[in-house]
Chains A and B, each alone.
Chain A
């Protein structure tokens, strides 16, 4: 069984390194500040007994007043997982750091989120629409994008 690491435990370890990074520790996930995302991610990836070398998925949820990005990290060596979240509270121009340099697997998923949610990933090498065509108006998965508009 993949063990879901308790987020409070990791939060304690992170507090030493990044005292201001953690906004909230829930039972199943760890919510951090967007500014520290890249640092924390590389810490999680490179710390020997954590070694989250596998990024299972990235997704984004639109909670109307903010976007929440969800990262599920897995370690294939220790077989444990952690859900990392960050909230993006600028609805106009949401910008998050790109994870492509750490995990190549983020490449298409970040493009997908950029395409469907309209979140810009800073540092992504090839950030452009992936599913929809150039010139498509809006970002369909946002809640303010009603379903019946044809474009």
Chain B
């Protein structure tokens, strides 16, 4: 071992870090600049569609941790309807199995947004109307190819280039 190469390797390494000094930083300045996330992103919300839901509880059964709590009853027209649905987002791992299990295919979605944080644990448990689609909650294309097409293309780090050269 030793320094038989006269510090050659050290010099090489120093040259590389020096080269990086003149490469443009790859930082995305988050609150102002945002990356477009994947079209299939599994955002930190689950969106429920009351109109299409047939209250089969398939999603609740598919959930590995049982964070979907759904109680159903027969309505007057002998159809099942959802009395109460509660999802604990503190427990949910956003694996998407509920979305895959849905037999109608458009009653439960994962959201496209991921900006979600709370001061209190209790506020992470949402139920019924809070789970519905709203302006702040966009639907993700996970398991929904039709939605996927409408979403903007994902920003990829591979595609960023520096003066015509691959971004490095």
A contacts B: CB pair < 8 Å: no
Interface residues of A (CB under 8 A from B): none
